[in-house]
Structure 1
């Protein structure tokens, strides 16, 4: 069984779903109660995801200036930031769990996403 089964098209659909969750969930869960940065980091992460998804060369991209491979790297950088944020900003336990779950979700999606095939130079 192939472990990387999420096509770029499916990955793109998940991107916009995740972005909506990152923007809406902190308000619904009251993440800003212990630290305003806890709320706004998630919102900024969701907005950033929308932005670089629109710039990605895949079915849900608009400008298509970023390769899908670069998009996957940006996803992993976002996951790393979400993993580091609770330690850097001293978030409360619930907020820390939120960021760990979000980071874990990103890592799982990247791990299950198909990898771009490198271009072959036939010169």
Structure 2
């Protein structure tokens, strides 16, 4: 059963985007170009996708929540195998694997719908 509400998922998205953007320096793999640029790219991708998702904290709201969640699942799977696929497993790998499982879990356990009243913007 899917337990994570979309509002919580939005916080996870924006938080993980920030973590990905600072992770090369925070976790000391900025000297591994492939791992560094993958993290920066993923951080930007998550941020843009979050801003464009049709959920409570989306700004433009173009991407349906189900598509967002499928993307999270695919991203998680990619991150889990990326150290071997992209060849940086000998230098760093744990961050990408942990974040991959986190994205996979968030994609699988978040409710795939948003309550309509949550998307209504009040005119003030």
TM-score (norm 1): 0.84
Partner of 2:16: 18
The reply to whether residue 56 of structure 1 matches residue 53 of structure 2 is yes
Runs of 4 or more, structure 1, over 4 Å off, are none
RMSD (Å) for aligned C-alpha atoms = 1.6
What 5-or-longer segments of structure 2 have no aligned partner? Answer: 115-124
Partner of 1:38: 35
Structure 1 residues 1-123: aligned runs within 5 Å: 3-33=1-31, 35-93=32-90, 95-116=92-113
Q: Deviations along 1:61-120, whole A, 9 cap, x unmatched?
A: 011011000100111121122122111222145621111101011112122211238xxx
Partner SS for 1:31: coil
Partner of 1:121: none
Partner SS for 1:111: helix
TM-score (norm 2): 0.84
Q: Deviations along 1:21-74, whole A, 9 cap, x unmatched?
A: 1111221112132x2010110111011000011110001101101100010011
Count of residues paired in the alignment: 114
Contact 2:72 2:103 in 1 (8 A): yes
